Structure 1
Amino acid sequence: MQNFEPQLIDLHFQGTPGVVAVYVWDTGDGLALVDTGPGSTLEALKAGLDLLGAGWGDVRHILLTHIHFDHAGAAGQILDYSPRARVYVHERGARHLVSPERLYASAAQIYGDQMEALWGEMRPMDADRVTALAGGETLRLGGAEVRALYTPGHAVHHLAYVVGDELYTGDVGGIRLVPQQQTRPPTPPPDIDLAAWQQSAAELGALDVRRLHLAHFGTYAQGTDHWDPLLENLEREAKWMRERLPQVADPAELYEPFTEWVLEQVEAGAPGLGAAYRFASPPAMNVMGLAHYWQKQWKKQKEQGDE
């Protein structure tokens, strides 16, 4: 494979196309991957590399946007199969990849007996093969110059990557499974920060790039058609949660009404997309993340008022 143009590999997460993507290109010094997907889709990633005439031994650079399972879960296994590969990740996420036991155990409390089927195995990795980034670095990977940008809001360990006029947004660029679907925010716990996300989106939206590559899902033109709906929906969903959370004893009571409200909007713009959207951005997780955000905000306000 000799092609600097990024190629999309559809991981068919949970047997569903168009939900989770990995991007790959030839740096001239081996392949670079942007994200890896979860351990449960490792075979789909391998099949995608096979179709490009490549294999695990060709992988040299793994650029992780953040450490959530759907983006980084397979990274440890890939290092085992790709002896020359190195992982790049934000410094606040690096230790969780080297020793993922606590991260995995915490997630297992949420997903229970679905954990293995959803996410598969997450293997630890050798710290010597991990480069921790703060954001702001420029990496020279073969013939490719890669800028790592710190982009919090979705996660405190989130990076976006710019390669030439291509921008790999991770999840701070939102969920947009098809062109006609309005961009929407994935808001899982525990790091959602509205102000930080708004700032990150403004900075990425102002970049002089040609295309946006989303993990969920696909490639779109840079422009306000993508970023404006993301910010509008982030504000709208946060407001919905702020107004209703004080009315319930448990945020779980809001799972069903929030899901109905969001999926109605998704289906209105892209009929038939609801099932795939549930996999890309599970509404119950979004409720948990927004509820956690507002609870932190209210606690902070109370503490400041008590001073």
Structure 2
Amino acid sequence: MSVQTIDLHFQDTPGVISSSVFDTGDGLAIVDTGPGSTLGHLEEGLAQFGAGLSDLRHLLLTHIHFDHAGAAGTLLERLPKARAYVHERGAPHLARPEKLLASATQIYGDQMEQLWGQMQPIDPDRMKVLSGGEFWKLGHTEIRALYTPGHAVHHVSYHVGDDLFLGDVGGVRLAEGQTTRAPTPPPDINLEVWRESVATLRTLDARHLHLAHFGRYANTPAHWDGLLAKMDEEAGWVRAGLEAGRSPQAITEEFTERQLSDIEAEAPGLRERYEFACPPWMSVQGLARYWTRKAARG
């Protein structure tokens, strides 16, 4: 199966957000549409291999965060024969995205439109709702959905032949030389279940891993080992700061410098792009919430 990686040039920056597209024999499938603000770049990317938006039939969403699913509703409005696939815990929010929009507006304020564009509601009849474990055929293509929480409670991955489409649960990796790292924004981070998801995914018979951030990599033990090692290391930095009573600002500043310095040492020139793709301050917030909730549960 030939998979095309489309660079969505988020905020005119290459190598930050991607969509994956392949022919099912029953129209094109796209894994993660990206945000509404990058629809023009999606259309340009499709045109590079002789396709257009009208060829899209199956919108396979790994989860409902804006950078992965923001454009899905707009695409379905334009494509009456297309359908979205989403986990059952995410589907209600796509049908009625008001809470998502309100929550994101608290973070991004008047930058919402520029960053993410429009997020249109999706008619529930246009969604195939997944719980994980489903196996179905589109044209000549067999697709398996796996429930893979950790980054989000509504996260699924897709296994299609030699290819695994991982959304964010497979980590952020922007260059071959960069060790895979876990994006950990609030509110759903759960490191225990993330490790369980990785344990499931790394046993699957697949040659290629597709990451929204960013692109295709060989399915090697080093990819998964690096993800788990950096996840534990970075979570440990935040935990140590909290236990020492340090302020959120101090923890964030130290985390940011340590993480980005490590990345620059691994892949010179990558620091700025990584910071844009996966803002360290958001990862600190998610990990701090994780440790605080864990302590409250005893």
TM-score range, shorter chain: over 0.9
Taking the TM superposition and a 5 Å limit, the aligned residue runs for 1:197-236 are 197-236=194-233
Partner SS, residue 239 of structure 2:
helix
The aligned amino acid for 1:298 is A
**Residue type matched to 2:212 in 1?**
A
Cα distance in 2 between the residues matched to 1:18 and 1:117: 19
Name the TM-score, length of structure 2 as normaliser: 0.98
Distance in 1 (alpha carbons) for counterparts of 2:138 and 2:202: 25
| Alignment-derived partner of residue 135 in structure 1 | 132
> Is 1:258 the counterpart of 2:255 in the alignment?
yes
C-alpha deviation, 1:129, in angstroms: 0.1
Structure 2 unmatched ranges of 5 or more: none
TM-score normalised per structure 1? 0.95
Distance, in Å, in 1 between the alignment partners of 2:105 and 2:173 is 27
Cα distance in structure 2, aligned partners of 1:15 and 1:274: 17
Partner of 1:163: 160
Distance in 1 (CA, whole Å) between partners of 2:275 and 2:78 is 31
Distance 1:224 1:15, change over 3 A: same
CA distance in 1, matches of 2:171, 2:159: 17
Q: Distance in 2 between matches of 1:13 and 1:250?
A: 32
Moved more, 184-193 or 201-210: 201-210
Does the alignment pair 1:70 with 2:67?
yes
SS of 2:286's equivalent in the other structure is helix
Counterpart CA distance in 2 for 1:139 and 1:88 is 12
Shift of 1:248: 4.3
For the residues of structure 1 that align with 2:135 and 2:112, how far apart are their CA atoms? 36
Residue type at the aligned position of 1:183: T
Q: Which amino acid aligns with 1:122?
A: M
> In the TM superposition, what whole-angstrom CA distance separates every residue of 1:32-51 from its partner, at most 9, and x where no partner exists?
00000111111100111122
Q: Does 1:39 align with 2:27?
A: no
Inter-partner Cα distance in structure 2 for 1:96 and 1:248: 36
The equivalent position to 2:193 in structure 1, one of 196, 207, 213, is 196
CA distance in 1, matches of 2:52, 2:245: 51
Q: Partner of 2:137: helix, strand, or coil? A: strand
2:83 corresponds to which residue? 86
Give 1:11's aligned residue: 8
Query: CA–CA distance in 1 between the matches of 2:234 and 2:246?
Result: 19
Offset at residue 253 of structure 1 (A): 3.7
Unaligned runs of 5+ in 1: 302-307
Distance 2:291 2:160 in 1: 36
Q: Secondary structure in 1 aligned to 2:297?
A: helix
Q: Which residue of structure 2 aligns with residue 98 of structure 1? A: 95
Take 1:73 and 1:254, find their aligned partners in 2: how far apart are those partners? 31
**Using a 3 Å threshold, how does the CA distance of structure 1 residues 120 and 192 change in structure 2: closer, same or farther?**
same
**What is the RMSD computed on CA atoms of the aligned residues?**
1.1
Cα contact 1:12–1:18 (8 A) shared by 2: yes
C-alpha distance after superposition, 1:52-85 (max 9, x if no partner): 2112221110000001111001101110111111
Q: Which runs of 4+ in 1 moved over 2 A?
A: 246-255
The residue identity in structure 2 corresponding to 1:91 is E
Q: Secondary structure at the match of 2:57?
A: strand
SS of the aligned residue for 2:90 comes to: helix
CA distance in 1, matches of 2:246, 2:176: 38
* 1:175–1:185 CA contact under 8 A, matched in 2: yes
Residues 98 and 124, structure 1, Cα contact 8 Å, conserved in 2: yes
Q: Secondary structure at the match of 2:146?
A: strand
SS of residue matched to 1:199: helix
Q: Deviations over 1:81-140 (max 9, x none)?
A: 111110000000001111111101101101112222211111111110011100000121
SS for the counterpart of 1:92 is: coil
Could you tell me which of 144, 148, 172 is aligned with 1:175?
Answer: 172
Q: Percent identity of the aligned residues?
A: 60
Look up the SS of the partner of 2:150 in the other structure. Answer: coil
